[in-house]
């Protein structure tokens, strides 16, 4: 499990990012490579939780860094670089989905297609149950509107804070909160209706 970053850590990391951006705008192309090494995992994680389990996540990550390459000189440094990066990633991911005219969540039509690493239980019965719940949740996510789905998945699955999400999607924290509550309600009732609620709780899954 990754160590939790303190506020000081974040400030220090952000200062490094901004030095790299300054170097890139001065013509040092290695700075972009370094930014990629520092943030590629974060970008990939946000992208796959926006678009769902589709195969084109690599393309989205690449597109995000191409977008950075094009627009880094526009970054004014008023916010944290990661905040800006989240926003670019969400935008590129949504553009990708709109271009493909499909959503990425309802991918697995049968239980066998659900990744085996999703359940972590040792019991075969519980593994099957867990995979079924995962499949149902993904199907329900597919039915949500784009705005609610993005907020829900970024908060619940990716683990971003409400403020980070509000900056990433370009709206207020209250709007994010509202979308999150609506999404939770819809998903919760639909999962219950389908009888896919887990029969036991898991404390820690990472």
Partner 1 sequence: MNHALTSCPSEDELHAWVDERDETLASAERSAIDTHLGSCNVCTDQVEELRLFRTLLLRTRVPTLDDEQWRLLDQRVEMLAGEPPPTGGRVAGRIYWGVAIAAALSLFAIGAWQLMSDRGESPTSILSPNGQARVAGAFAAVEVAMAEGAMEFAGADGRFRRLAAGDKLERNGQIRNVGTEQGRLVVAGNFEMKLGQGAVVRVLADNEREFFVRLRHGEVRCQVGKRKPGQRFGVLAGQFRASVVGTEFTVRHDDQGRVAVEVSEGAVRVEEAADPWRDAGETTVVVRAGNRWRFTGGRMDLGPIVPAVAPAAQIPAAQIPAAQIPAAQAPAAPVAEAVASDAPEGDTDQAPAAAPTARAARAARRAPLKGRVTEVSASKRKATAPTAVSPEEKPEARSAPAKPGRTVETGEPRLPPPLPPQAALPAPVQHADAPATSPAKAAKAAKPTPASNKPGAKARRPGEHRIYIDLPPQSMTPEEVLRAKAAEAAKAGHRANPGADAR
Residues that bind partner 1 (CB under 8 A): 29-30, 32-33, 36, 40, 44-45, 48-49, 52-53, 56-59, 61-63, 65-67, 69-71, 73, 88, 91-92, 95, 100, 115, 117-120, 130, 133-134, 137-138, 156-157, 159, 161-162, 170, 177, 181, 184-185, 188, 191-192, 196-202, 204-205
**Least distance to partner 1 from the beta carbon of 109, Å?**
17
Please give the C-alpha separations between residue 156 and each of 20, 37, 81, 149, 181, in angstroms, as whole numbers: 31, 25, 22, 10, 11
**Least distance to partner 1 from the beta carbon of 167, Å?**
13
**Least distance to partner 1 from the beta carbon of 104, Å?**
9
Question: Based on CB atoms, which residue is closest to partner 1, 13 or 94?
Answer: 94
Question: Based on CB atoms, which residue is closest to partner 1, 12 or 59?
Answer: 59
**Least distance to partner 1 from the beta carbon of 14, Å?**
21
- Count Cβ atoms below 10 Å from residue 42 Cβ, excluding itself: 14
- Count Cβ atoms below 10 Å from residue 118 Cβ, excluding itself: 14
Question: Based on CB atoms, which residue is closest to partner 1, 12 or 104?
Answer: 104
**Least distance to partner 1 from the beta carbon of 63, Å?**
6
Q: Is 101 helix (H, G, I), strand (E, B) or coil?
A: coil
**Least distance to partner 1 from the beta carbon of 12, Å?**
23
Question: Based on CB atoms, which residue is closest to partner 1, 80 or 158?
Answer: 158
Question: Based on CB atoms, which residue is closest to partner 1, 13 or 34?
Answer: 34
Token pair in block for residue 117: 């690493």
Question: Based on CB atoms, which residue is closest to partner 1, 83 or 91?
Answer: 91
Is the distance from CB of 78 to CB of 69 less than 8 angstroms?
no
CA dist 48 and 158 (Å) reads 9
Cα 126–chain centre separation: 27
Q: Pick from 173, 116, 108, 174: which is nearest to 138 by CA?
A: 108
């Amino acid at each position: 499990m990754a160590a939790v970053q303190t506020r000081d850590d974040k400030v220090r990391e952000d200062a490094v990012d901004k030095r790299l951006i300054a170097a890139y705008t001065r013509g040092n192309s290695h700075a972009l490579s370094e930014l990629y090494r520092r943030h590629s995992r974060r970008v990939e994680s946000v992208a796959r939780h926006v678009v769902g389990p589709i195969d084109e996540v690599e393309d989205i990550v690449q597109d995000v860094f191409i977008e950075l390459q094009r627009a880094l000189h526009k970054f004014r440094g008023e916010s944290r670089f990661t905040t800006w990066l989240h926003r670019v990633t969400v935008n590129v991911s949504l553009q990708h989905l709109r271009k493909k005219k499909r959503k990425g969540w309802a991918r697995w039509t049968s239980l066998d297609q659900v990744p085996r690493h999703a359940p972590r239980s040792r019991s075969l019965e519980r593994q099957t149950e867990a995979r079924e719940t995962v499949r149902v949740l993904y199907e329900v996510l597919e039915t949500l509107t784009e705005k609610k789905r993005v907020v829900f998945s970024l908060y619940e699955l990716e683990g971003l804070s409400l403020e980070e999400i509000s900056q990433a999607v370009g709206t207020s924290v209250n709007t994010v909160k509202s979308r999150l509550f609506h999404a939770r309600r819809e998903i919760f009732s639909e999962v219950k209706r389908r009888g896919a609620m887990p029969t036991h709780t898991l404390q820690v899954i990472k």
